[in-house]
Amino acid sequence: MISYAECSARERLALLLDGGSFHEWLPPSERVMSPHLAQLGVPSAFDDGVAVGRAMLDGRSVFVAAQEGAFMGGGVGEVHGAKLVGLMQRALRDRPAAVLLLAESGGVRLHEANAGLIAVSEVMRALLDVRAAGIPVLVLIGGANGCFGGMGIVARCADHIVMSDVGRLAMSGPEVIEASHGVDEFDSRDRALVWRTTGGKHRWLTGDCDALVEDDVAAFRAAAIAAIDVSKPLTLEALEQEHALLTKRLHALDTTDTTDRDEAALLWSALGIADARQVPELSVEAVRALRTA
Amino acid sequence: MSDVPAGLETLDFSFSGGRPAGAFAPVLVGVVGSGNLEVMLEPAAGNDCAVRVETSARGFGPIWQAVMNDFHARHPLAGVRVSINDMGATPAVVSLRLDQAVAEIAGGRP
> Mean pLDDT of successive 10-residue segments in chain A (293 residues)?
97 97 98 94 96 98 98 97 98 98 96 94 97 96 97 97 98 93 92 95 95 98 95 89 90 78 89 91 95 71
| A27 phi, psi to nearest 5 deg | -70, 170
Q: What is the pLDDT of residue B7?
A: 86
DSSP assigned state of A59: T
Say if A266 falls within a structural domain.
no
Note whether residue A271 is domain-resident: no
Looking at A22-112, list the stretches that DSSP marks H as alpha helix, in order from N- to C-terminal side.
78-94
* In-domain check, residue A28: yes
Out of A41, A45, A70, closest to residue B8 by CB: A41
Give the helix ranges, DSSP H, for chain A: 9-16, 78-94, 113-132, 149-156, 174-181, 191-198, 200-205, 217-226, 236-250, 263-270, 284-290
Residue B30 identity (one-letter amino acid)? G
Cβ pair A70:B33 closer than 8 A: yes
Residue A14 has a pLDDT of 96
| B97 contacts in chain A (CB < 8 Å) | none
> In 10 A of CB A83, how many CB atoms?
24
pLDDT value at position B2?
A: 55
Q: Do B31 and A27 touch (CB under 8 A)?
A: no
Q: Concatenate the DSSP letters of all residues of A176-209 into one string.
A: HHHHHH-TTT--TT-HHHHHHHHBHHHHHHTTSS
- Round the average pLDDT of chain B to a whole number and report it: 91
Nearest C-alpha of chain A: how many angstroms from B40? 8
pLDDT per residue as tens digits for the range B59-82: 999 999 999 999 999 999 999 999
Quote the pLDDT of residue A289. 94
If interface means Cβ-Cβ distance under 8 Å, which residues of chain B face chain A? 6-8, 26, 28, 31-33, 36, 38, 40, 42, 54-56, 83, 85-87
Q: Looking at the partner chain, which of A28, A38, A44 has a beta carbon nearest the beta carbon of B28?
A: A28
**Domain-located, residue A56:** yes
- Domains, chain B, ordered by start: 9-104 (3.30.230)
- Residue A120: which domain range? 9-169+209-232
Are residues A43 and B8, on separate chains, in Cβ contact within 8 Å? Answer: yes
Q: How far apart are CA A236 and CA A230, in angstroms?
A: 18
pLDDT at residue number A254: 79
Does residue A137 belong to any structural domain of this protein?
A: yes
Q: For residue A48, is it within any domain? A: yes
Query: What residues of chain B score a pLDDT lower than 50?
Result: 1, 108-110
How far A51 CA lies from chain B's nearest CA (Å)?
12
Question: Are B40 and A70 within 8 A, CB to CB?
Answer: no
Give whole-number Cα distances, A259 to A180, A256, B3, in Å: 19, 9, 51
A129 by Cβ neighbours in 10 Å (0-12 / 13-18 / 19+) ranks as: middle
Whether A43 sits inside 8 A of B56 (CB atoms) is yes
Q: Does A35 touch chain B (CB under 8 A)?
A: no
Chain A residues near residue B59 by CB distance under 8 angstroms: none
Q: Write down the pLDDT at residue B110.
A: 40
A54 is a domain residue: yes
Asked, for residue A286, whether it belongs to a domain, the answer is no
CATH of residue A26: 3.90.226.10
Give the residues across from A51 on adjacent strands.
Answer: A66
Overall domain count for chain A = 1
Which among A38, A43, A68 has CB closest to B87? A43
How far apart CA A162 and CA A218 sit, in angstroms, is 13
Q: How far apart are CA A50 and CA A104, in angstroms?
A: 10
